[in-house]
Amino acid sequence: MENNDVLFQSICAGNVKDVEAAVNKKLEDKVNALEILNNIMVPAMNEVGDRYSRHEIFLPEMLIAAKSMQHGIKILEPYLAELGHTSKGKLAIGTVQGDLHDIGKNIVIVLLKGAGYEVVDLGVDCAIEKYETAIKEGAKVILASALLTTTMRAMKEIVGYIKENYPDIKVVVGGAPVSEDFAVEINADAYGEDASCVPNIVNGFLYP
């Protein structure tokens, strides 16, 4: 994909200062924060992934691009989440064991907080025990993210464990290699294709 947008190009180049300036410019121009994220920043990360696949860039460049993306998201955060004072319930989300990708997970957290939930961030590389502790500490819905095809197996184990031991707890899965079919196959309660749909999914479980 070719995209001449300055923000798109700045993320691909991993230039933090340019990303900051471009995000601020769009906000000044009153472009909606979710649109900035979904229409420019996420496609830019996808472009970075494609360039990596084609061996046009290597791991350090991918990492630098990811850092600039995270910086941009931090600027957008207050616009994405107008935090309420009352919690609609406690949720926990983590990236599954073996997987260090957290940009998507962090966007899901911002939007769930914006929808009024208390969200416990379990971080990356989460073993089953971390999810279990969160359940024992009151999380009503568990969310799991995976970005590597190799860590989808860990996702399956986590969902299986939770469903067997805590049948009342809902489990939502997502991440680029995850699909609706895979979610059904591993017995998850729901699959979220992107972060924007997650608050509705959780509302459906806790406030049917």
CA atoms of 8 and 144, how far apart (whole Å)? 28
Question: Looking at 148, 153, 182, 206, which residue binds ligand B12 (CB under 6 A)?
Answer: 148
Closest CB 186 distance from ligand B12, rounded Å: 13
Tokens describing residue 14: 């991993």
Question: Looking at 24, 100, 180, 185, which residue binds ligand B12 (CB under 6 A)?
Answer: 100
User: 80 to each of 102, 109, 111, 152, how far by Cα in Å?
Assistant: 17, 11, 7, 29
Q: Which is nearer to ligand B12, 114 or 174 (CB)?
A: 174
**Contact assessment for residue 76 and residue 32, using Cβ atoms and an 8 Å cutoff:** no
CA atoms of 137 and 15, how far apart (whole Å)? 40
Which window, 3-11, 82-90, 170-178, 181-189, contacts ligand B12 (CB under 6 A)? 170-178
Question: Looking at 194, 203, 205, 206, which residue binds ligand B12 (CB under 6 A)?
Answer: 194
By the rule CB under 6 A, 102 interacts with ligand B12: yes
**Contact assessment for residue 16 and residue 45, using Cβ atoms and an 8 Å cutoff:** no
Rg (CA), the chain: 17
CA atoms of 156 and 39, how far apart (whole Å)? 31
By the rule CB under 6 A, 99 interacts with ligand B12: yes
Q: Which is nearer to ligand B12, 2 or 28 (CB)?
A: 2
By the rule CB under 6 A, 42 interacts with ligand B12: yes
Residues near ligand B12 (CB under 6 A) are 42, 45-46, 48-49, 52-53, 59, 62-63, 66, 98-105, 107-108, 143-145, 147-150, 172-177, 192, 194-195, 198
